[in-house]
Amino acid sequence: MHALTIDAEDWAQLMCSYLGHTMPVSEQFVSSIERTLNMLGQHDTRATFFVVASQAIKQPAIVREIAECGHEVASHGWTHAKMHEFTPDSFREDLRRSIDTLEEITGQEVYGHRCPFFALMPEQSWAFEILQELGLEYDSSLTTLLWQAQKIALPDEPFVCALPGGREIVEVPALARKVGPVTARLIGGRGFRVMPSSFYLSHLREREEQGLPAMMYVHTYETTPDRLMRYVPSHLPIRERAKLVVAAKAFEVGMGRMNRALHRLLDQYEWAPMRDVVAERRQKGTMPRVVVTTEGKVVSDFAGVLA
Ligand SMILES: [Zn+2]
């Protein structure tokens, strides 16, 4: 059983906010979630949706529908802010607000979190305690390859972060391979859109042989068959509009092919929400552990103490 995760976010609004401009949540937020729900329905597959809560609050009906279709709704933060921009206090506030909002909309408890860009780095190891403190069971926010670059080896599978005071939280990391200068994550993002299918099929085969779960992530806007460019807001200054048009074109490369591949993978493999995958790993009792010290430092003796 592999984890199927969907990041539900409004591409145009986020890109606009990165340029310092505001725009309302676009119609794409709703239509791309609807399309994703239809696709999962066709394959009778359930997934975890990591939802940006400040966008969810503007379109609560579609977020409620995600939960009513039997999928898990988890936190993708309040505003999709980057991890390195947070202090522990501002992260706690952002996370709490996102959890409260999503729980109010769906009437269901939130169990998991994913930060934007899988960019939780060793410098933000304090986040594990806050995630646990706010009642979450798991997090899926880091890329092991990026931690290795800082000489911290982490398991390439779901692992337990042992926190001070005997508390713990499970981390489900994203795996990646270096392809030239690019970090291509398995299975999702640019790697999924442009790499040959052998890139992720061999990974899935290997995971099944090892008895380990793979994790796939797809953005709702990646299931959009119409041009992303359509959603570039017209009120932006021309230079910034041009930047977004270039970004939209880059995202569109390989999107059609990725959608066909996605249908095949949904057909051929068994997928489940992340919470179910974490529960299965817990039940097996084989999850590796890493220790987070009281100073918020990760000490991993997995493949040698490197921290
Ligand atoms: Zn995101």
- pLDDT at residue 292 is higher than 90: no
CA angle, 165 then 276 then 109, to 5°: 65
Distance 57 CA to ligand 1 centre (A): 16
Q: How far apart are CA 199 and CA 208, in angstroms?
A: 15
Q: What is the pLDDT of residue 234?
A: 85
Nearest to 7 by CA among 56, 68, 59, 43: 56
Distance 217 CA to ligand 1 centre (A): 10
Q: How far apart are CA 55 and CA 15, in angstroms?
A: 13
Q: How many CA atoms lie within 13 A of 298 on its CB side?
A: 31
Q: What is the pLDDT of residue 41?
A: 97
Q: Residue 167, SS3?
A: coil
Distance 276 CA to ligand 1 centre (A): 21
The residue among 132 and 294 whose pLDDT is bigger is: 132
Give the tokens for residue 35: 């399309």
Distance 52 CA to ligand 1 centre (A): 8
| 263 within 8 A of 283, measured Cβ to Cβ | no
CA 86 to chain centre: 18
Nearest to 74 by CA among 16, 9, 21: 9
* Phi/psi of residue 298, nearest 5 degrees: -90, 125
Distance 104 CA to ligand 1 centre (A): 21
Distance 7 CA to ligand 1 centre (A): 6
Distance 166 CA to ligand 1 centre (A): 31
Distance 304 CA to ligand 1 centre (A): 32
Model confidence pLDDT, tens digit, residues 151-203:
888 999 999 999 988 999 999 999 998 888 888 899 998 889 988 899 899 99
Distance 153 CA to ligand 1 centre (A): 25
The secondary structure of residue 45, as a DSSP letter, is -
Distance 39 CA to ligand 1 centre (A): 20
Region 66-73 average pLDDT: 98
CB atoms within 10 A of CB 87: 10
Model confidence pLDDT, tens digit, residues 122-142:
999 999 999 999 999 999 999
- How large a percentage of the chain has pLDDT more than 70? 97
Model confidence pLDDT, tens digit, residues 73-117:
999 999 999 999 999 999 999 999 999 999 999 999 999 999 999
Distance 9 CA to ligand 1 centre (A): 6
Q: What is the pLDDT of residue 115?
A: 97
- pLDDT at residue 295 is higher than 80: no
Distance 83 CA to ligand 1 centre (A): 12
Distance 223 CA to ligand 1 centre (A): 14
Q: What is the pLDDT of residue 303?
A: 53
- SS3 string, 54-83, reads HHHCCCHHHHHHHHHCCCEEEECCCCCCCH
Q: How far apart are CA 68 and CA 33, in angstroms?
A: 13
Distance 78 CA to ligand 1 centre (A): 11
Please list all protein residues whose beta carbon sits less than 5 angstroms from ligand 1, which is an ion: 7, 9, 116
- pLDDT at residue 225 is higher than 70: no
Distance 271 CA to ligand 1 centre (A): 21
Task: For strands 289-292 and 298-299, give the pairing.
Answer: antiparallel
Full set of structural domains in the chain with CATH? 2-141+188-201+211-278 (3.20.20.370)
Confidence of residue 212 (pLDDT cuts 50, 70, 90): very high
Q: What is the pLDDT of residue 301?
A: 64
Distance 285 CA to ligand 1 centre (A): 31
CA separation, residue 220 to residues 84, 92, 131, 196 (Å): 24, 26, 25, 22
Distance 49 CA to ligand 1 centre (A): 11
Nearest to 169 by CA among 291, 2, 301, 7: 291
Q: How many CA atoms lie within 13 A of 229 on its CB side?
A: 9
Region 269-280 average pLDDT: 98
Give the tokens for residue 20: 């310092």
Confidence of residue 302 (pLDDT cuts 50, 70, 90): low
- pLDDT at residue 307 is higher than 60: no
Distance 116 CA to ligand 1 centre (A): 4
- pLDDT at residue 306 is higher than 50: no
Q: How far apart are CA 63 and CA 227, in angstroms?
A: 23
Mean pLDDT of the chain: 92
- pLDDT at residue 304 is higher than 50: no
